[in-house]
Structure 1
Amino acid sequence: MQPLQKLLFSLPLWALAAQAQTLAITHANVIDTVSGTIQSDTTVVIDGNRITRVAHSSRLTPKAAQVIDAHGAYLIPGLWDMHTHVYFDSTAADGTDIVLPLFLANGITGIRDMGSALDPVLHARDEIAAHHLLGPRMVVSGPMLDGPTSHYRAAIAITTPADGRQAVDMLHSRGVDFIKVQSGVPREAYFAIADEARKVGIIYEGHVPDAIRASEAIAAGQHTFEHLIGIFEASSPDETKYLTGKKTVGMFLASYDPKLEDNIIQLLAQKQVWQCPTLFWERGQWLVDAIDYSQDPDLAYAPRSWVEKHWPAAQKGIMKTLDVDPLPVRKEFVLHELEIVRKLHAAHVPFLAGTDTPAGVDVIPGISLHLELQRFVAAGFTPLQALQTATLNPAKFLNRLDEFGTVQPGRIADLVLLDANPLVDIANTRKIEAVVSDGRYLSQEDLMQLQTKLKQLAATR
């Protein structure tokens, strides 16, 4: 029996042909992710995979097959990680039986996958939807569209405009949910991708390519900016030079112009271009030589090959690109990023929480999303606003507010039950008592069993 099969069959509530059940969570404190109010002593009834009733416990006597007493606990919508790479290059082999279950074990019930091998990610999306595979629901791009010299295996090399159009058409025909563009896409090919995506009716998201100005990406209809790329360049009088020349964080800081920054912020606000800044990943990248991941208390969830092979290799690769900027400059840039996020947020630019997991160093699936929310608070968000970036905002972004993002009748039953109030301390999102994923209940005992097995499996990889 394969490891994944052992994992699945050890959790009876997650049988491959799991039947819909009626579930009632009673006496919970339900957090309203729109207003931040808390409905105390509330009962939530779930029939199949939908929430059917939400009312004060005194007014609702559930006749459910399973009743959960949630006295003192806080109920929130399931969390989303909006920047992941499940089947990506050196970690792809661990996507099915480690990466995907780790998301659920940490309350992440939905992900946006921003670059994975096509066949595996489409298969996983469909198998999870059919309850044949343990993992969060998935919105996927398939492979990224990158430049002709891309070193990523989970990418399609684009050289000409025709290449870009063909890639969009192929991915659209295969049923991906959106197109992901990477930094290396050539200038004319980028505009061809944008045009073809518009013609076939699919959105495109991702990096602002090196050869494109942020203002041009906005005008072309790019739906998201990842990692704040493009904003740094647009905040400098040297933006045109950066289109074809070298750029470093030290150069960004040295040429920073607050008036130019304000111009691009106002344009992003006017067009409501979504930002997924991956702040935890960014900090780890720019300070890769200053962070000792061997001290991470969650290291046991990372496969041994990541810790002993992939992460050291990634560190060396990152350091080759950082040697022109000393550590103090990079520390200043990390603070500069938080300040940009604060200003964007103040201008009402919309945000999504994403982590880039498992790419990079010590960005562990599931766990890193909670750390990303803490980085949002460090950037000046209230705990509610940080929570919204992983609950309400993904629902808005996906145009699925009628299904996700709030605890209301009619919504899909993706929920997380917490032992403490995340509106008091956003770190409380890690204090998970139970998870409901597509109507299926994982108790604290189930989660602990799953976590134990994931640690055991990670130790063998």
Structure 2
Amino acid sequence: WASGAGCRTASSGASPTPAAARANIAELHAAGTSFLKIYEMVTPEVFAAIVDEARKRNLPIDGHVPLSMRARNVASQVQSLEHLRNYEMDCVSDPEVWLAARQAELANVDNEPGNVLRTRLHSLQRLTAIANEDPEVCADTTEALKATITVPTLRMNSMDLHEPFMRPDFEEALELIPGAIAQDWRNAQAKLTARAAPVDTTFAEWSLRRTGELHAAGVPIAAGTDTPIGWSIPGYSLHTELEQYVEVGMTPLEALYSATVRPATFFDLDGEMGQLAPGYLADAVLLSANPLENIAHTRTVEAVINRGTLLPKAALAELVSGN
């Protein structure tokens, strides 16, 4: 992925200038990268350079709305936007004023680490923007978002309302991941459970509401979980994500579409994958109950067909256990 100045992750492809961004994209493409993710600390100039280089190489782009930009000006330049990140800041009555305030902070005269500066900007503007939402401005931003795919990661965004470890089957699912990681997650869960301060659920509630509104307005939604962040167990968390899509207004069929057809669209593979049709990749999940009747039935996996090879439940269990 690509980030801006102040990045503290050595392997991230930090791109503080357009020239550095172009060089990074060339290197990533030569290494076989299949798509790019733009993080939120890039400048508009670096963002433009990344988009230009990606288009030259036919690389799809996903990412966050950069804090230096407005969501409506980013949407048409990328194939998807993640986590509803910074979208709320383009739903206020005077978004240019809010943008100018962020850009002043992004000058970073105190040379804060990028992750610290990013978190501080979220703290300064996120909840205040939600509290000062302007429906007319937000409608215009929503219209602009129709130009791309939105991946709301509701499982993650709504954790303060739907804590994953409160599900009755979570501990059983936790046994399927490496033991050391599972124990780290249990320890983190215990600290959260013991916290004394009340939890602010404003962002969680907003994420659920806005996802339903975006879907109703015709914004394309795709399923994503941000695994492994936030106790996200591979596979298991996708079922939870689809269930939450139905909770906010999707039909079960629309939720399934978000996890099948829409990812194919992102990679420009509509004629090759995402559907059961002649000439498509023979990838499928076989269930014992109809998910169109209840989206939770996606959990009733009996077998998987992977590129034409049938993997029954016993074979899947062996793969998961590592045997």
Q: TM-score, normalization: structure 1?
A: 0.59
Q: Tell whether the 8 Å contact from 1:352 to 1:390 is kept in structure 2 after alignment.
A: yes
Q: Tell whether the 8 Å contact from 1:293 to 1:362 is kept in structure 2 after alignment.
A: no
* Superposition pairs of residues 378-389 of structure 1, within 5 angstroms: 378-389=247-258
Structure showing greater Rg:
1
Write the deviation string for residues 179-233 of structure 1: whole angstroms up to 9, x where unpaired. 21112223322222122223343332211111121122135x1221110123211
Q: Distance in 2 between matches of 1:157 and 1:315?
A: 35
Q: Who is 1:356 aligned against?
A: 226
Say which of 13, 32, 37 aligns to 1:156. Answer: 13
Name the aligned partner's letter for residue 362 of structure 1: W
Q: Distance in 2 between matches of 1:294 and 1:371?
A: 10
Q: Distance in 1 between matches of 2:173 and 2:8?
A: 29
Q: Who is 2:129 aligned against?
A: 252
Name the aligned partner's letter for residue 205 of structure 2: L
Please tell me whether residue 443 in structure 1 is matched to residue 312 in structure 2.
Answer: yes
Structure 1 residue 171 displacement after superposition: 1.1
Q: Who is 1:47 aligned against?
A: none
Q: Who is 2:91 aligned against?
A: 235
Say which of 276, 282, 285 aligns to 2:157. Answer: 282
Q: Tell whether the 8 Å contact from 1:226 to 1:277 is kept in structure 2 after alignment.
A: yes
Say which of 214, 223, 236 aligns to 1:344. Answer: 214
Write the deviation string for residues 255-276 of structure 1: whole angstroms up to 9, x where unpaired. 211111111011222xx21111
* Superposition pairs of residues 46-61 of structure 1, within 5 angstroms: none
Say which of 28, 47, 51 aligns to 1:171. Answer: 28
Q: Distance in 2 between matches of 1:419 and 1:291?
A: 25
When residues 291 and 423 of structure 1 are mapped into structure 2, their CA distance, relative to the original with a 3 A threshold, is closer
When residues 243 and 315 of structure 1 are mapped into structure 2, their CA distance, relative to the original with a 3 A threshold, is farther
* Superposition pairs of residues 88-103 of structure 1, within 5 angstroms: none
Q: Distance in 2 between matches of 1:176 and 1:315?
A: 38
Please tell me whether residue 431 in structure 1 is matched to residue 300 in structure 2.
Answer: yes
Name the aligned partner's letter for residue 435 of structure 1: V
Q: Who is 1:301 aligned against?
A: 176
Q: Who is 1:408 aligned against?
A: 277
Write the deviation string for residues 62-107 of structure 1: whole angstroms up to 9, x where unpaired. xxxxxxxxxxxxxxxxxxxxxxxxxxxxxxxxxxxxxxxxxxxxxx
Structure 1 residue 175 displacement after superposition: 2.3
Name the aligned partner's letter for residue 47 of structure 2: Y
When residues 406 and 199 of structure 1 are mapped into structure 2, their CA distance, relative to the original with a 3 A threshold, is closer
Q: Who is 1:264 aligned against?
A: 141
Q: Tell whether the 8 Å contact from 1:314 to 1:361 is kept in structure 2 after alignment.
A: no
Moved over 4 A (4+): 290-295, 310-316
Q: Distance in 2 between matches of 1:444 and 1:313?
A: 32
Structure 1 residue 371 displacement after superposition: 0.8
Please tell me whether residue 208 in structure 1 is matched to residue 65 in structure 2.
Answer: yes
Please tell me whether residue 189 in structure 1 is matched to residue 46 in structure 2.
Answer: yes
Name the aligned partner's letter for residue 6 of structure 2: T
Structure 1 residue 436 displacement after superposition: 0.4
Q: Distance in 2 between matches of 1:344 and 1:257?
A: 15
Q: Tell whether the 8 Å contact from 1:224 to 1:276 is kept in structure 2 after alignment.
A: yes
Q: Distance in 2 between matches of 1:408 and 1:201?
A: 26
Instruction: Answer 1 or 2: which has greater strand percent.
Output: 1
CA RMSD of aligned residues (A): 2.8
Q: Tell whether the 8 Å contact from 1:158 to 1:186 is kept in structure 2 after alignment.
A: no
Write the deviation string for residues 12-51 of structure 1: whole angstroms up to 9, x where unpaired. xxxxxxxxxxxxxxxxxxxxxxxxxxxxxxxxxxxxxxxx
Structure 1 residue 368 displacement after superposition: 0.7
Q: TM-score, normalization: structure 2?
A: 0.83
User: Which stretches in structure 1 are left out of the alignment for 5+ residues?
Assistant: 1-143
Instruction: Answer 1 or 2: which has greater helix percent.
Output: 2
When residues 244 and 434 of structure 1 are mapped into structure 2, their CA distance, relative to the original with a 3 A threshold, is farther
DSSP-derived class of the 2:175 partner: helix
Q: Who is 1:139 aligned against?
A: none
Structure 1 residue 314 displacement after superposition: 9.8
Deviates more, 1:442-451 or 1:423-432: 442-451
When residues 431 and 164 of structure 1 are mapped into structure 2, their CA distance, relative to the original with a 3 A threshold, is same
Q: Distance in 1 between matches of 2:215 and 2:291?
A: 20
Q: Tell whether the 8 Å contact from 1:210 to 1:244 is kept in structure 2 after alignment.
A: no
Structure 1 residue 294 displacement after superposition: 9.4
* Superposition pairs of residues 39-50 of structure 1, within 5 angstroms: none
When residues 385 and 244 of structure 1 are mapped into structure 2, their CA distance, relative to the original with a 3 A threshold, is farther
Q: Distance in 1 between matches of 2:37 and 2:241?
A: 21
DSSP-derived class of the 2:46 partner: helix
